[in-house]
Structure 1
Amino acid sequence: MVKYLGLHETIDLHELLTFKNLCLTKSTTMSPLAQDPELKAILENDVTTGQQHIEQLQQFLTNREAQQ
């Protein structure tokens, strides 16, 4: 099996990574401005999960040789 990502797969991952970074930036910026406790909790949860998603996407891009 091929151990490398195809060009289109790499580009798709970069697009997803860019989108997730934008979402993380927006949630991080808006969280301190939120006055509603429920909204603040949602934004903080989004920051946490967004960071995890970004780390996973980065692993796909950096650990391509380990994939089968």
Structure 2
Amino acid sequence: MPSLLGKIVFVKHRHKKREWLAILSTNVTLSFEEIIRIYGMQWDIEVFFNACKSLLRLDKEFQGR
């Protein structure tokens, strides 16, 4: 049976000090800083795709790869 290891990183919201973001990584060899850096890059990609779909009016029939 595979092991179920993970690392959770809690990040405080910059402007709302009482809000936190929890990031789960299954790669336990990464440092906390690296997990946050990778999550930030992935989030930028998600925001880009959502903006493209919205601005170009690409609905459900479009799939980005």
TM-score class normalised by the smaller sequence: 0.3 to 0.5
Which has the larger strand fraction?
2
More helix by share: 1
TM-score (normalizing by structure 1)? 0.42
